[in-house]
Amino acid sequence: MPDDIGPSAQRLAETPPAWLATLGTAALGGSLGIRRLHQAEWEVVKDPSDYPAHTILVDELRAADTAVRDGKLLVARGPAVQRRWDGDDVDVCWYVDPAEPDRLWCALGPDYPGWLWVPVAPQSGALAEVLGGMFPKPGLRMADFTRHERGFAGYLSKVTLPNVYDGEAVPVNGLDLDRYFSLVPFLEGDSWGSAHDDDPLPDDIEPASPLVHSATIDSYRRGQQMLGRVPSMTWRSLHSRSYVSFEIHTRGLVCVRLSYRPAPASHQAVIARCNTAFGLNVLPDLPLDVAGALTGFSYSTEADIIVNVTHPRSPGQLAEGLRLFAAMADGDLEKMMMLRQYASHPEREVRLSVAKIANWYNLAFLFYEVALASADDPDMLEAAEDLIQVGADPDNTNVFGDTFHAYPMFVGEDGHTDPGEWPDEEDDEQDEEGNGNE
Protein backbone atom coordinates (compact mmCIF):
# COMPACT_ATOMS: atom_id res chain seq x y z
CA MET A 1 0.00 0.00 0.00
CA PRO A 2 1.36 3.47 -0.84
CA ASP A 3 2.73 5.34 2.15
CA ASP A 4 1.11 8.66 1.25
CA ILE A 5 -2.53 7.67 1.08
CA GLY A 6 -3.35 9.14 4.51
CA PRO A 7 -5.08 7.88 7.65
CA SER A 8 -8.61 7.81 6.22
CA ALA A 9 -7.45 5.58 3.37
CA GLN A 10 -5.64 3.38 5.87
CA ARG A 11 -8.93 2.89 7.69
CA LEU A 12 -10.62 2.09 4.35
CA ALA A 13 -7.99 -0.58 3.72
CA GLU A 14 -8.43 -2.04 7.20
CA THR A 15 -12.25 -2.11 7.09
CA PRO A 16 -13.26 -2.00 3.42
CA PRO A 17 -16.97 -1.98 2.48
CA ALA A 18 -18.27 -5.38 1.44
CA TRP A 19 -18.79 -4.35 -2.19
CA LEU A 20 -15.12 -3.40 -2.67
CA ALA A 21 -13.98 -7.01 -2.43
CA THR A 22 -16.32 -7.98 -5.29
CA LEU A 23 -15.51 -5.04 -7.57
CA GLY A 24 -14.07 -6.34 -10.83
CA THR A 25 -15.51 -9.83 -10.36
CA ALA A 26 -18.38 -11.33 -12.33
CA ALA A 27 -20.73 -10.12 -9.61
CA LEU A 28 -19.71 -6.45 -9.92
CA GLY A 29 -18.34 -5.05 -13.13
CA GLY A 30 -15.99 -7.80 -14.24
CA SER A 31 -17.91 -8.41 -17.46
CA LEU A 32 -17.73 -4.68 -18.19
CA GLY A 33 -13.93 -4.69 -18.18
CA ILE A 34 -13.48 -3.17 -14.70
CA ARG A 35 -10.30 -4.31 -12.93
CA ARG A 36 -10.04 -3.83 -9.16
CA LEU A 37 -6.63 -2.65 -8.00
CA HIS A 38 -4.87 -4.36 -5.15
CA GLN A 39 -4.29 -2.16 -2.14
CA ALA A 40 -0.63 -1.80 -3.13
CA GLU A 41 -1.81 -0.25 -6.41
CA TRP A 42 -4.18 2.31 -4.93
CA GLU A 43 -3.33 5.83 -5.91
CA VAL A 44 -4.03 9.18 -4.34
CA VAL A 45 -5.98 11.24 -6.85
CA LYS A 46 -3.88 13.58 -8.95
CA ASP A 47 -3.71 17.19 -7.93
CA PRO A 48 -5.29 19.32 -10.69
CA SER A 49 -1.93 20.97 -11.34
CA ASP A 50 -0.37 17.57 -12.13
CA TYR A 51 -2.61 16.23 -14.87
CA PRO A 52 -2.60 17.47 -18.48
CA ALA A 53 -6.25 18.34 -19.04
CA HIS A 54 -5.24 21.34 -21.19
CA THR A 55 -8.83 22.54 -21.06
CA ILE A 56 -9.71 26.22 -20.85
CA LEU A 57 -10.59 26.58 -17.17
CA VAL A 58 -11.76 29.60 -15.22
CA ASP A 59 -11.05 29.85 -11.50
CA GLU A 60 -14.51 28.59 -10.57
CA LEU A 61 -14.01 25.36 -12.52
CA ARG A 62 -10.53 24.86 -11.08
CA ALA A 63 -11.95 25.15 -7.57
CA ALA A 64 -14.71 22.66 -8.38
CA ASP A 65 -12.17 20.25 -9.82
CA THR A 66 -10.09 20.42 -6.64
CA ALA A 67 -13.16 20.03 -4.42
CA VAL A 68 -14.27 16.81 -6.12
CA ARG A 69 -10.77 15.32 -6.23
CA ASP A 70 -9.98 16.06 -2.58
CA GLY A 71 -9.47 12.85 -0.59
CA LYS A 72 -10.34 10.42 -3.39
CA LEU A 73 -8.48 7.15 -3.96
CA LEU A 74 -8.14 5.31 -7.27
CA VAL A 75 -9.27 1.74 -6.58
CA ALA A 76 -10.12 0.33 -10.04
CA ARG A 77 -9.50 0.86 -13.74
CA GLY A 78 -11.21 -0.09 -16.99
CA PRO A 79 -12.64 -0.58 -19.44
CA ALA A 80 -10.52 1.42 -21.88
CA VAL A 81 -10.71 3.06 -25.29
CA GLN A 82 -7.70 3.27 -27.54
CA ARG A 83 -6.60 6.55 -29.06
CA ARG A 84 -6.04 6.40 -32.76
CA TRP A 85 -2.47 6.91 -34.05
CA ASP A 86 -0.60 6.69 -30.75
CA GLY A 87 -2.35 3.47 -29.67
CA ASP A 88 -2.57 4.60 -26.04
CA ASP A 89 -5.29 3.02 -23.91
CA VAL A 90 -7.39 5.52 -21.97
CA ASP A 91 -8.75 3.79 -18.87
CA VAL A 92 -11.96 4.63 -17.08
CA CYS A 93 -10.92 5.45 -13.51
CA TRP A 94 -12.94 4.50 -10.44
CA TYR A 95 -12.44 6.41 -7.21
CA VAL A 96 -13.63 6.04 -3.64
CA ASP A 97 -13.87 8.73 -1.00
CA PRO A 98 -12.95 7.03 2.31
CA ALA A 99 -15.29 9.45 4.06
CA GLU A 100 -18.20 8.16 1.88
CA PRO A 101 -17.37 4.51 1.17
CA ASP A 102 -20.82 3.58 -0.07
CA ARG A 103 -20.40 5.05 -3.53
CA LEU A 104 -17.92 5.19 -6.39
CA TRP A 105 -16.88 8.09 -8.60
CA CYS A 106 -16.43 7.36 -12.29
CA ALA A 107 -14.05 9.42 -14.47
CA LEU A 108 -14.22 8.36 -18.13
CA GLY A 109 -10.52 9.16 -18.43
CA PRO A 110 -7.68 9.89 -16.01
CA ASP A 111 -7.48 13.50 -17.21
CA TYR A 112 -11.18 14.32 -16.85
CA PRO A 113 -11.72 17.26 -14.48
CA GLY A 114 -13.52 16.42 -11.26
CA TRP A 115 -16.67 18.31 -12.16
CA LEU A 116 -17.23 15.78 -14.97
CA TRP A 117 -16.89 12.77 -12.65
CA VAL A 118 -20.07 10.75 -12.19
CA PRO A 119 -21.11 9.54 -8.71
CA VAL A 120 -22.42 5.99 -8.97
CA ALA A 121 -23.76 3.37 -6.57
CA PRO A 122 -21.55 0.24 -6.41
CA GLN A 123 -24.21 -1.94 -8.02
CA SER A 124 -23.96 -3.97 -11.22
CA GLY A 125 -26.77 -2.18 -13.06
CA ALA A 126 -25.51 1.26 -12.06
CA LEU A 127 -21.99 0.50 -13.30
CA ALA A 128 -23.34 -0.66 -16.66
CA GLU A 129 -25.51 2.44 -16.96
CA VAL A 130 -22.71 4.88 -16.27
CA LEU A 131 -20.57 3.31 -18.99
CA GLY A 132 -23.45 3.97 -21.36
CA GLY A 133 -22.64 1.65 -24.26
CA MET A 134 -19.31 3.39 -24.93
CA PHE A 135 -17.21 0.22 -24.56
CA PRO A 136 -16.19 -1.24 -26.88
CA LYS A 137 -15.82 1.98 -28.84
CA PRO A 138 -18.78 2.25 -31.26
CA GLY A 139 -18.10 3.18 -34.90
CA LEU A 140 -20.85 5.76 -35.19
CA ARG A 141 -21.52 7.76 -38.37
CA MET A 142 -23.71 10.77 -39.04
CA ALA A 143 -26.74 8.58 -39.76
CA ASP A 144 -26.47 7.01 -36.30
CA PHE A 145 -26.90 10.25 -34.36
CA THR A 146 -30.36 11.16 -33.09
CA ARG A 147 -29.58 14.72 -31.99
CA HIS A 148 -28.19 17.55 -34.11
CA GLU A 149 -27.87 20.92 -32.41
CA ARG A 150 -26.08 24.15 -33.20
CA GLY A 151 -24.90 26.91 -30.87
CA PHE A 152 -23.49 30.37 -31.54
CA ALA A 153 -19.92 30.79 -30.24
CA GLY A 154 -19.43 34.43 -31.18
CA TYR A 155 -18.11 36.68 -33.90
CA LEU A 156 -14.98 35.58 -35.72
CA SER A 157 -13.10 38.67 -34.61
CA LYS A 158 -13.93 37.99 -30.94
CA VAL A 159 -13.58 34.22 -30.46
CA THR A 160 -10.20 33.20 -29.06
CA LEU A 161 -8.49 30.07 -27.80
CA PRO A 162 -5.14 29.40 -26.10
CA ASN A 163 -2.00 28.83 -28.13
CA VAL A 164 -0.76 25.44 -26.98
CA TYR A 165 2.86 26.56 -26.69
CA ASP A 166 2.59 29.66 -24.53
CA GLY A 167 -1.06 29.71 -23.39
CA GLU A 168 -1.63 33.16 -24.88
CA ALA A 169 -5.07 33.80 -26.37
CA VAL A 170 -5.09 33.83 -30.19
CA PRO A 171 -7.95 34.51 -32.64
CA VAL A 172 -9.78 31.36 -33.66
CA ASN A 173 -8.15 29.68 -36.65
CA GLY A 174 -7.85 26.19 -38.04
CA LEU A 175 -4.24 25.49 -37.11
CA ASP A 176 -4.65 26.49 -33.46
CA LEU A 177 -7.99 24.67 -33.20
CA ASP A 178 -6.34 21.47 -34.40
CA ARG A 179 -3.45 21.96 -32.00
CA TYR A 180 -5.74 22.71 -29.07
CA PHE A 181 -8.11 19.79 -29.63
CA SER A 182 -5.22 17.38 -30.09
CA LEU A 183 -4.36 17.94 -26.41
CA VAL A 184 -7.69 18.03 -24.60
CA PRO A 185 -8.71 14.62 -23.19
CA PHE A 186 -12.16 14.64 -24.81
CA LEU A 187 -11.61 14.42 -28.58
CA GLU A 188 -9.73 12.30 -31.09
CA GLY A 189 -7.02 14.27 -32.88
CA ASP A 190 -7.33 15.34 -36.54
CA SER A 191 -10.34 17.21 -37.84
CA TRP A 192 -12.00 16.91 -41.22
CA GLY A 193 -13.51 19.59 -43.44
CA SER A 194 -16.94 20.12 -44.97
CA ALA A 195 -16.04 18.05 -48.05
CA HIS A 196 -16.66 14.98 -45.84
CA ASP A 197 -19.93 14.08 -44.11
CA ASP A 198 -18.11 11.61 -41.84
CA ASP A 199 -14.59 11.02 -40.65
CA PRO A 200 -12.78 9.89 -43.83
CA LEU A 201 -10.21 7.86 -41.87
CA PRO A 202 -11.11 4.33 -40.77
CA ASP A 203 -11.42 3.65 -37.05
CA ASP A 204 -8.75 0.94 -37.10
CA ILE A 205 -5.83 3.14 -38.16
CA GLU A 206 -2.68 1.63 -36.68
CA PRO A 207 -0.27 3.63 -34.50
CA ALA A 208 2.18 5.46 -36.75
CA SER A 209 5.08 7.89 -36.73
CA PRO A 210 4.34 11.61 -37.22
CA LEU A 211 5.53 11.48 -40.84
CA VAL A 212 3.29 8.51 -41.70
CA HIS A 213 0.47 10.17 -39.79
CA SER A 214 0.79 13.39 -41.82
CA ALA A 215 1.07 11.56 -45.15
CA THR A 216 -2.01 9.45 -44.39
CA ILE A 217 -4.09 12.52 -43.53
CA ASP A 218 -3.02 14.19 -46.77
CA SER A 219 -3.86 11.09 -48.79
CA TYR A 220 -7.44 11.22 -47.52
CA ARG A 221 -7.64 15.00 -48.27
CA ARG A 222 -9.05 15.18 -44.78
CA GLY A 223 -9.11 18.96 -44.27
CA GLN A 224 -10.80 19.98 -47.51
CA GLN A 225 -13.80 22.26 -47.65
CA MET A 226 -16.57 21.84 -50.24
CA LEU A 227 -17.42 24.91 -52.28
CA GLY A 228 -21.00 25.92 -51.47
CA ARG A 229 -21.00 24.39 -47.99
CA VAL A 230 -20.41 26.27 -44.76
CA PRO A 231 -16.68 25.91 -43.96
CA SER A 232 -16.22 23.65 -40.97
CA MET A 233 -13.77 21.58 -38.98
CA THR A 234 -15.15 18.49 -37.24
CA TRP A 235 -13.68 16.27 -34.54
CA ARG A 236 -14.92 12.98 -33.14
CA SER A 237 -15.21 12.75 -29.36
CA LEU A 238 -13.19 10.01 -27.71
CA HIS A 239 -15.82 8.21 -25.63
CA SER A 240 -19.34 8.95 -26.91
CA ARG A 241 -18.08 9.11 -30.55
CA SER A 242 -20.07 12.31 -31.12
CA TYR A 243 -19.18 14.94 -33.74
CA VAL A 244 -18.10 18.42 -32.67
CA SER A 245 -17.95 20.90 -35.56
CA PHE A 246 -16.71 24.47 -35.57
CA GLU A 247 -18.28 26.35 -38.47
CA ILE A 248 -17.75 29.85 -39.83
CA HIS A 249 -20.90 31.30 -41.36
CA THR A 250 -21.06 34.36 -43.60
CA ARG A 251 -17.35 34.94 -43.02
CA GLY A 252 -17.95 36.28 -39.52
CA LEU A 253 -20.10 34.03 -37.29
CA VAL A 254 -18.56 31.12 -35.41
CA CYS A 255 -21.04 28.35 -34.66
CA VAL A 256 -20.63 24.95 -33.03
CA ARG A 257 -22.63 22.06 -34.45
CA LEU A 258 -23.08 18.97 -32.30
CA SER A 259 -24.21 15.57 -33.53
CA TYR A 260 -24.65 12.96 -30.82
CA ARG A 261 -26.79 10.38 -29.09
CA PRO A 262 -28.22 11.45 -25.71
CA ALA A 263 -26.03 10.67 -22.72
CA PRO A 264 -27.02 8.21 -19.97
CA ALA A 265 -29.21 9.60 -17.19
CA SER A 266 -26.35 9.60 -14.67
CA HIS A 267 -24.30 11.80 -17.04
CA GLN A 268 -27.23 14.13 -17.63
CA ALA A 269 -27.43 14.73 -13.88
CA VAL A 270 -23.79 15.86 -13.95
CA ILE A 271 -24.48 18.24 -16.87
CA ALA A 272 -27.49 19.66 -15.02
CA ARG A 273 -25.32 20.42 -11.98
CA CYS A 274 -22.68 22.06 -14.18
CA ASN A 275 -25.25 24.22 -15.93
CA THR A 276 -26.64 25.35 -12.59
CA ALA A 277 -23.36 25.82 -10.75
CA PHE A 278 -21.18 27.22 -13.54
CA GLY A 279 -23.61 28.57 -16.11
CA LEU A 280 -22.23 26.33 -18.85
CA ASN A 281 -25.49 26.65 -20.80
CA VAL A 282 -24.97 23.36 -22.64
CA LEU A 283 -27.71 20.98 -23.71
CA PRO A 284 -28.99 18.82 -20.83
CA ASP A 285 -28.51 15.47 -22.62
CA LEU A 286 -25.04 16.30 -23.98
CA PRO A 287 -22.34 13.63 -23.56
CA LEU A 288 -19.67 14.47 -21.01
CA ASP A 289 -16.79 14.48 -23.50
CA VAL A 290 -18.63 16.97 -25.72
CA ALA A 291 -19.39 19.21 -22.74
CA GLY A 292 -15.74 19.03 -21.76
CA ALA A 293 -14.59 19.99 -25.25
CA LEU A 294 -16.83 23.09 -25.18
CA THR A 295 -15.45 24.28 -21.84
CA GLY A 296 -14.17 27.82 -22.18
CA PHE A 297 -16.07 28.58 -25.37
CA SER A 298 -19.22 30.66 -25.41
CA TYR A 299 -22.33 28.67 -26.38
CA SER A 300 -25.64 30.40 -27.07
CA THR A 301 -28.64 28.34 -28.14
CA GLU A 302 -31.27 29.31 -30.67
CA ALA A 303 -33.54 30.30 -27.79
CA ASP A 304 -30.83 32.69 -26.58
CA ILE A 305 -30.58 34.58 -29.87
CA ILE A 306 -34.15 34.43 -31.22
CA VAL A 307 -35.07 37.42 -29.03
CA ASN A 308 -33.12 39.57 -31.52
CA VAL A 309 -35.71 38.56 -34.11
CA THR A 310 -38.90 38.43 -32.04
CA HIS A 311 -38.25 41.57 -29.99
CA PRO A 312 -35.71 43.72 -31.88
CA ARG A 313 -34.89 47.18 -30.59
CA SER A 314 -34.10 48.51 -34.06
CA PRO A 315 -34.16 47.47 -37.74
CA GLY A 316 -30.39 46.99 -37.53
CA GLN A 317 -30.73 44.54 -34.64
CA LEU A 318 -33.45 42.67 -36.54
CA ALA A 319 -31.26 42.48 -39.65
CA GLU A 320 -28.35 41.06 -37.65
CA GLY A 321 -30.70 38.81 -35.68
CA LEU A 322 -31.90 37.27 -38.96
CA ARG A 323 -28.28 36.63 -39.94
CA LEU A 324 -27.68 34.84 -36.62
CA PHE A 325 -30.93 32.92 -36.93
CA ALA A 326 -30.06 31.75 -40.44
CA ALA A 327 -26.69 30.49 -39.25
CA MET A 328 -28.34 28.52 -36.46
CA ALA A 329 -31.01 27.14 -38.81
CA ASP A 330 -28.69 26.16 -41.67
CA GLY A 331 -29.75 22.78 -43.03
CA ASP A 332 -33.30 23.08 -41.66
CA LEU A 333 -35.42 24.30 -44.57
CA GLU A 334 -38.57 24.45 -42.45
CA LYS A 335 -36.94 26.99 -40.13
CA MET A 336 -35.44 28.91 -43.04
CA MET A 337 -38.97 29.36 -44.47
CA MET A 338 -39.62 31.71 -41.55
CA LEU A 339 -37.44 34.27 -43.34
CA ARG A 340 -40.12 34.76 -46.02
CA GLN A 341 -42.11 37.06 -43.77
CA TYR A 342 -39.12 39.42 -43.50
CA ALA A 343 -38.52 39.59 -47.26
CA SER A 344 -41.32 42.15 -47.46
CA HIS A 345 -40.37 44.07 -44.32
CA PRO A 346 -40.90 47.85 -44.68
CA GLU A 347 -37.30 48.55 -43.66
CA ARG A 348 -34.84 48.24 -46.55
CA GLU A 349 -32.06 47.16 -44.18
CA VAL A 350 -34.07 44.10 -43.18
CA ARG A 351 -34.95 43.16 -46.77
CA LEU A 352 -31.30 43.52 -47.72
CA SER A 353 -30.34 41.16 -44.89
CA VAL A 354 -32.79 38.57 -46.23
CA ALA A 355 -31.30 38.93 -49.72
CA LYS A 356 -27.79 38.43 -48.34
CA ILE A 357 -28.92 35.35 -46.41
CA ALA A 358 -30.46 33.96 -49.61
CA ASN A 359 -27.13 34.46 -51.36
CA TRP A 360 -25.02 33.01 -48.56
CA TYR A 361 -27.13 29.88 -48.16
CA ASN A 362 -28.34 29.47 -51.77
CA LEU A 363 -32.02 29.95 -50.89
CA ALA A 364 -33.39 30.87 -54.31
CA PHE A 365 -37.00 31.19 -53.12
CA LEU A 366 -36.03 34.19 -51.00
CA PHE A 367 -34.73 36.08 -54.05
CA TYR A 368 -38.25 35.92 -55.51
CA GLU A 369 -39.79 37.05 -52.23
CA VAL A 370 -37.46 40.07 -52.03
CA ALA A 371 -38.13 40.94 -55.70
CA LEU A 372 -41.88 40.83 -55.20
CA ALA A 373 -41.59 43.17 -52.21
CA SER A 374 -39.27 45.66 -53.94
CA ALA A 375 -41.42 47.20 -56.64
CA ASP A 376 -40.82 50.64 -55.11
CA ASP A 377 -37.08 50.08 -54.72
CA PRO A 378 -35.51 49.83 -58.21
CA ASP A 379 -31.99 49.09 -56.96
CA MET A 380 -33.14 46.29 -54.68
CA LEU A 381 -35.40 44.90 -57.40
CA GLU A 382 -32.55 44.90 -59.93
CA ALA A 383 -30.20 43.16 -57.48
CA ALA A 384 -32.80 40.51 -56.67
CA GLU A 385 -33.53 39.90 -60.36
CA ASP A 386 -29.82 39.57 -61.11
CA LEU A 387 -29.47 36.96 -58.38
CA ILE A 388 -32.50 35.11 -59.74
CA GLN A 389 -30.78 34.98 -63.14
CA VAL A 390 -27.27 33.99 -62.09
CA GLY A 391 -28.00 32.20 -58.82
CA ALA A 392 -26.18 32.43 -55.52
CA ASP A 393 -22.46 33.10 -55.41
CA PRO A 394 -20.72 30.60 -53.10
CA ASP A 395 -17.90 31.98 -50.99
CA ASN A 396 -14.43 30.52 -51.59
CA THR A 397 -12.73 32.55 -48.87
CA ASN A 398 -10.47 30.46 -46.65
CA VAL A 399 -12.08 31.68 -43.44
CA PHE A 400 -10.05 29.38 -41.19
CA GLY A 401 -6.82 30.94 -42.42
CA ASP A 402 -5.26 27.52 -43.00
CA THR A 403 -2.14 27.20 -45.09
CA PHE A 404 -0.80 23.94 -43.65
CA HIS A 405 -2.70 21.45 -45.83
CA ALA A 406 -1.08 20.04 -48.94
CA TYR A 407 -4.10 20.58 -51.18
CA PRO A 408 -6.62 23.35 -51.96
CA MET A 409 -8.75 24.18 -48.94
CA PHE A 410 -11.85 24.47 -51.14
CA VAL A 411 -12.86 22.01 -53.84
CA GLY A 412 -15.63 21.82 -56.43
CA GLU A 413 -18.35 19.21 -56.67
CA ASP A 414 -15.93 16.70 -58.21
CA GLY A 415 -14.02 16.76 -54.92
CA HIS A 416 -10.71 17.74 -56.47
CA THR A 417 -10.85 20.97 -58.43
CA ASP A 418 -9.60 24.24 -56.98
CA PRO A 419 -12.65 26.46 -57.66
CA GLY A 420 -10.77 29.68 -58.38
CA GLU A 421 -8.49 32.42 -57.23
CA TRP A 422 -8.25 33.54 -53.63
CA PRO A 423 -9.29 37.12 -52.84
CA ASP A 424 -6.30 39.40 -52.44
CA GLU A 425 -5.36 40.86 -49.06
CA GLU A 426 -6.97 44.22 -49.81
CA ASP A 427 -10.32 42.54 -50.47
CA ASP A 428 -9.98 40.58 -47.24
CA GLU A 429 -9.34 43.76 -45.26
CA GLN A 430 -12.38 45.43 -46.81
CA ASP A 431 -14.56 42.45 -45.94
CA GLU A 432 -13.38 42.48 -42.32
CA GLU A 433 -14.35 46.15 -42.10
CA GLY A 434 -17.74 45.45 -43.60
CA ASN A 435 -17.03 47.56 -46.70
CA GLY A 436 -16.42 44.85 -49.26
CA ASN A 437 -18.62 42.18 -50.84
CA GLU A 438 -20.66 40.19 -48.40
The CA-atom distances, in angstroms, between 381 and each of 166, 329, 361, 390, 394 are 52, 26, 19, 14, 21
Pairing of strands 225-226, 410-411: parallel
Mean pLDDT by 10 residues, the chain (438 residues): 61 81 91 91 71 60 85 91 83 92 93 92 95 89 94 93 83 89 87 90 74 74 85 94 95 94 96 88 92 90 89 94 95 92 91 90 87 84 81 75 72 63 44 39
The backbone torsions φ and ψ at residue 8, rounded to the nearest 5 degrees and listed phi first, read -65, -40
Provide the pLDDT for residue 49.
57
pLDDT of residue 109: 93
- pLDDT, position 414: 65
- DSSP-derived secondary structure letter, 165: T
Of 94, 78, 100, the residue nearest 9 (C-alpha): 100
What is the distance between the alpha carbons of residues 32 and 128, in angstroms, rounded to a whole number? 7
The per-residue pLDDT for 423 is 44
| pLDDT value of position 240 | 95
419 neighbors 412 (Cβ within 8 angstroms):
yes
Sign of CA dihedral 419, 425, 427, 433: positive
Amino acid code (one letter) for 421: E
Cα distances (angstroms) measured from residue 225 to each of 49, 50, 159: 38, 38, 21
d(CA 61, CA 327): 30
pLDDT number for residue 249: 93
**Cβ-based neighbour number of residue 285 at 10 Å:** 18
- Tell me how far CA of residue 252 lies from CA of 82, 397, 402, 428, in angstroms: 37, 11, 16, 12
